[in-house]
Structure 1
Amino acid sequence: MMLCRREVLTGSASLAVAAVLAACSAGGGGAVSSASPAGTDGASAVPVNSAPVVLKSVWKGEALTTRVGPAVVQGGYTVVKMEISVDSGERFLLGSSMFGDGLNINTLAAVKLISLRENVVYREVGRTPKGIGYIEPDSPAELLPVFGAVPDDMDSIELLLPTTGVALGVPVVDAPVAGFDVTAAIANAQIDESIHSGPFELNSLVVAADRSSDTEKADTSTTVNVSGDVLFATDSADLSDAADGVLALVVEQLELYPSGGELAVTGHTDDVNTDEHNQGLSERRAKVVADRLGELTDLSGWETTVSGKGESEPRVANDSDENRQLNRRVEIVLTPADSDEGSAATTGAGSAAGSGDMPEPVGPVGRGPDGVDIEIDGVPARISLDSVTRYAGYLIGTVKISSEQEVSVPLFLMQIPDDLLFIRMWSSYATSGCTLLKGNSRHLVVDFINSDENSIVLAGYISGTMVANDVRSLPVVWPDTGEDTVTMDMIGEDDAFGQHLAVRLTDIPVVEA
């Protein structure tokens, strides 16, 4: 089943970026004290003071150190300081694509400011005509992305760098102690007033491995979509033998809320047959599902409504057999009287989804910390995931892909297959295919829906050319599965976009932030 916290656009403040390269003066505010948290290639520890968070990565074959923070809120914006240095101390061309979003390669558009504790993200949508340029010896590059203002009481934030990692617990401080000129950073930023900054709430997605159901979970409601092809035979309103197994997932959600609430059951069809026929079929199917739920659990505390929408509200266009299958569904919306009951019931337990056997792997299998040999466009490479960090109800990891030879990376290598992609319409270059497999459920990459109604994943991306001895760092944020070790699985199915990477990494330890 898909467990998704469907989010609402809650703000529209503009934001922008100042990508300013500057030499750091001796004794400046960017110096890292002995109390600085030690970054370790992935999500780093939460700092206890105003020192920056340190991340290690490799870009174009060069080992880099990135210091993130502090952040400052001023004049309706949040400015975050980033310093990047080359570990070798040699002059290095950082280039213009390290932090771009594919369409805007010479910007910091793919950097995301996040509050995982508040389940929100802010977009960096400033545009600068300049590339990132060179890092000089003993003179780190200073980047100052500018976002919309976070709340006054927020003392730390997270920052996702798409080719580096996720910096956890970046301190938010007052301007006088920031160690950089906040006013100048905002003045130099190119503010695009037409683009909303957020905050946008985060969606946590869990999908049944057989694609039989999916769920959206918001703060006040839960929406479960159950496949009509699993519940019913073609053009029938009689429940199948497999129906109870899928409806048990709905019962599990209902029983999280002993105080009850409102329950809406709605039938939907594809566009085959007439409008009148489909309307009647959808109504009959909804009633049968509602009746069966009442037999499987006590609905006396739930005010239940039943309706059918026929073919009038498709999830996706009815332009293929696969899409019509997505549209044939029964939608069940729970609006509990006390939404806190569900949170209390699952505290410390992670997601309840994950019973049953894991599907068989499609590609090579190995322990995540050890890594697994793969091929990229016929060139030998290796993928690994040393650990994931548990923080504020999420798991954060940095997937590493390395190659000893130069290789051109296919655009869709890390993409999830299109039957799942079309539900969210994720960008092709992002690492949306990295799922955490728990039993027969896939926990997908966390995403958010921006003001343009586009779904954007909290993950890195890999595209273009990897040089010899390159190591790409691909940060990924998942919902917490509640386990001590996790399994990352990439499905690797053929679809209209080509072949995606198939691999399974097991025994990945979960560490506490």
Structure 2
Amino acid sequence: MRLHHPLRAVVGALLAGVLPAAALAACTGGADPTPSASASADPGPQPEDVVATAVIPAGGVDLEVRVHPLVRAGEHVVLTVDFVPVDGVGDEGYVTLSGFGVTSFVADGSHPVNVRLFDLENDVAHHVGADAEGEPVVAPEEWDWVRSERGTRLQMPFAAPPADVEALSLLVPGAPLFAQVPIVDGDVPSGAHPDDVAAAASAAASASATASASPSASAPADDAEPPEVLDLDAVVAAPTFPLESTSAELHGAVRTTESTERVEVTLGSDVLFAFDSADLTPEAADAVALVAQRLAEREPGTVDVVGHTDDQADDAYNLDLSRRRAQAVADALGAHVDASAYPVRVEGRGEQEPVADNGTEEDRALNRRVTVSLTSTVVTRTDVTTAGELPPFDAHVGTAGTPLRVENWARAWEVDASARRVHGHVVVDLTVHAADEEDGLGWAVSFLRGFSSHRGGDTVTPHDITARGTVLQGASRLFPLDYMVGADETWPDGEWFTASDLDAGAWIDGGQTRTYSFVYPRLDADTVVFQAGTGIAFDDDFRLLDVPVAPEVVTDRGGAPRP
């Protein structure tokens, strides 16, 4: 049960919570007739202002998402979002918002966990605050029911970022990523929908006018149930998670996973070494140089070089081979990095820590690897390399700007994409349009769904996550940013959420369009390639070429572009 404290209040109290102080002063005759020197200054966005909008499909109807500024409230920021039907709620007379929860294996996935804030400058994900029972603290309790044309309002608390952070990105299922939602000071907006507030203000003004005209007239009784109040005192945890980025470069030979605190580079042994050898091949030079580049982006610290093998020989032999290979990589790194600043520790672990089953040659190749890791903070950033040619792809291929038709057993879809930069990260906005007029089917976008992690090992992702979408540039592949939300005995390497929609199973009716946003590592490119799937396993995998990447737009607190 969610912990809320609904309060019964008079209309005057309701108005005091949502009307600016100047407006109240004007109503009571208390306004200062002499303008102050700063009266003409732009105060910036106010808590009840709408700073961004988008349209999402929900239950067969389109809803306009109206985003208000984030309001600082002590150690939290409060998000206020309205969902308003574009053309009414349809024949049923109501709409239920779905897709706001998560089919999770480890973490709590209750609605509306899929609504998240991201600090993409500092690479941090924010989850909704939860109560002592682990349930999200929201208001009103039935925020996910749209029963009238006025819509519904959702309020959620999150951990406040540092004081110098002026805006955060917001991901609402079905909408493009809202890149910069400003953070403001002030009173948290009322839990009432703005239409209710306007009606209350009109009634109060009418009552005031009646009372002035006839002082003996009694004021009308206020029997209306007041809006629920977001109970910030009920929040016992508002978790944040460091975002990690993963990229595969040099045709997948070098895979880099990094956060603000740590970098791990995995080198495929089949590129570094000949069969049953610990001597580096000529092709290994580029891979080792790339590892050195990633280390140079970090403050000095101890570098761990660890070798791994598959299970095709006995344990003792594999342990020795893995150590000799790790030493070869460490020796090669010595020509690129300062050993006094980046001392190296070498270890071989043989076949003890596979990242895939050893049942196929492809999986055994994944297990034959050398990892280089450094726990150290970032001092500079280098973009992912973009050399090489795109890998072949045997499925649907189109060019961004012209919708690509993708058909599967459910229906025909049209997909298109654009991209932009947010704090250097590439953000792809994929639009999926149901290219028929069939209603009530409830079909989801199956070509984005999955629950396997690119990380391998004993990791897992939510069941319907959209992480099958990757970005390619040359021979390099970028995976959506992700973060670990928890681990258990079944998944000791953790469950990973992505900076993309966590529920690809949302309903899209015929003629409707839904947007899926994906946040990727930093990459300096004018165009990218977006790909769903591998082009091998499913006949509705697709690739979109020449997706334009719009330049970074930096705005001030009011949303105006900065020069």
Deviations 1:132-186 (A, max 9, x none): 122412x1310112333444454322221122222222222334264558x9543
1:161 maps to 172
1:389 maps to 420
Give the 3 Å change call, closer, same or farther, for CA 398–94 of structure 1 in structure 2. farther
Does residue 368 (structure 1) correspond to residue 400 (structure 2)? The answer is: yes
1:58 maps to 56
Q: CA deviation at 1:247?
A: 2.3
TM-score normalised to structure 1 length: 0.78
Does residue 229 (structure 1) correspond to residue 262 (structure 2)? The answer is: no
Paired with 2:301 and 2:232, the residues of 1 have a C-alpha distance of 51
1:88 is paired with a residue whose SS is coil
Which amino acid in the other structure matches residue 216 of structure 1? T
Deviates most, 74-83 or 318-327: 318-327
Paired with 2:508 and 2:73, the residues of 1 have a C-alpha distance of 39
1:204 is paired with a residue whose SS is strand
Counterpart of 1:172 (choices 176, 183, 186) is 183
1:110 is paired with a residue whose SS is coil
In our comparison, the structure showing a higher alpha carbon Rg is: 2
Give the 3 Å change call, closer, same or farther, for CA 428–145 of structure 1 in structure 2. same
Q: CA deviation at 1:335?
A: 5.5
Does residue 425 (structure 1) correspond to residue 466 (structure 2)? The answer is: no
Paired with 2:81 and 2:530, the residues of 1 have a C-alpha distance of 30
Deviations 1:337-388 (A, max 9, x none): x842x33xx4xxxx13211112233333333232211113263210011x32
Counterpart of 2:544 (choices 497, 504, 507) is 504
TM-score normalised to structure 2 length: 0.72
1:478 maps to 520
1:100 is paired with a residue whose SS is coil
2:144 maps to 132
1:41 maps to none
Paired with 2:126 and 2:348, the residues of 1 have a C-alpha distance of 37
1:414 maps to 448
2:346 maps to 306
Q: CA deviation at 1:432?
A: 1.0
2:113 is paired with a residue whose SS is coil
Paired with 2:267 and 2:306, the residues of 1 have a C-alpha distance of 11
Q: CA deviation at 1:332?
A: 1.3
1:4 maps to none
After superposition, the CA RMSD in angstroms is: 3.7
Q: Is the 8 A contact 2:68 2:80 kept in 1?
A: yes
Q: CA deviation at 1:214?
A: 0.8
Q: CA deviation at 1:28?
A: 8.9
Q: Is the 8 A contact 1:52 1:171 kept in 2?
A: no
Q: Is the 8 A contact 1:411 1:429 kept in 2?
A: no
1:469 maps to 511
1:49-88 to 2 correspondence within 5 Å? 49-50=45-46, 51-60=49-58, 61-74=60-73, 76-88=75-87
1:101 maps to 102
Q: CA deviation at 1:223?
A: 1.6
Paired with 1:443 and 1:419, the residues of 2 have a C-alpha distance of 13
Does residue 456 (structure 1) correspond to residue 487 (structure 2)? The answer is: no
Paired with 2:232 and 2:45, the residues of 1 have a C-alpha distance of 28
Structure 1 consecutive aligned stretches of length 4 or more whose deviation exceeds 6 Å: 25-28
Paired with 2:338 and 2:231, the residues of 1 have a C-alpha distance of 60
Q: CA deviation at 1:82?
A: 0.5
Structure 2 residues not aligned, in runs of 5+: 7-13, 21-42, 193-226, 488-493, 554-563
Give the 3 Å change call, closer, same or farther, for CA 229–419 of structure 1 in structure 2. farther
Q: CA deviation at 1:478?
A: 1.5
Counterpart of 1:122 (choices 123, 126, 129) is 126
Q: CA deviation at 1:464?
A: 5.2
Q: Is the 8 A contact 1:414 1:500 kept in 2?
A: no
Paired with 2:239 and 2:356, the residues of 1 have a C-alpha distance of 26
2:334 maps to 294
Does residue 399 (structure 1) correspond to residue 430 (structure 2)? The answer is: yes
1:355 is paired with a residue whose SS is coil
Paired with 1:168 and 1:17, the residues of 2 have a C-alpha distance of 31
Paired with 2:19 and 2:248, the residues of 1 have a C-alpha distance of 43
Paired with 1:105 and 1:468, the residues of 2 have a C-alpha distance of 28
Whichever structure has more strand as a proportion of its residues is 1
User: Percent identity among equivalent residues?
Assistant: 25
1:3-22 to 2 correspondence within 5 Å? none
Give the 3 Å change call, closer, same or farther, for CA 29–168 of structure 1 in structure 2. farther
Q: Is the 8 A contact 2:444 2:505 kept in 1?
A: yes
Q: CA deviation at 1:430?
A: 2.0
Paired with 1:284 and 1:374, the residues of 2 have a C-alpha distance of 49
Structure 1 residues not aligned, in runs of 5+: 1-15, 32-46
Deviates most, 87-96 or 391-400: 87-96
Q: CA deviation at 1:293?
A: 3.0
Q: CA deviation at 1:231?
A: 1.7
Paired with 1:355 and 1:58, the residues of 2 have a C-alpha distance of 38
Counting matched residue pairs gives 463
Paired with 2:523 and 2:19, the residues of 1 have a C-alpha distance of 37
Does residue 111 (structure 1) correspond to residue 110 (structure 2)? The answer is: no
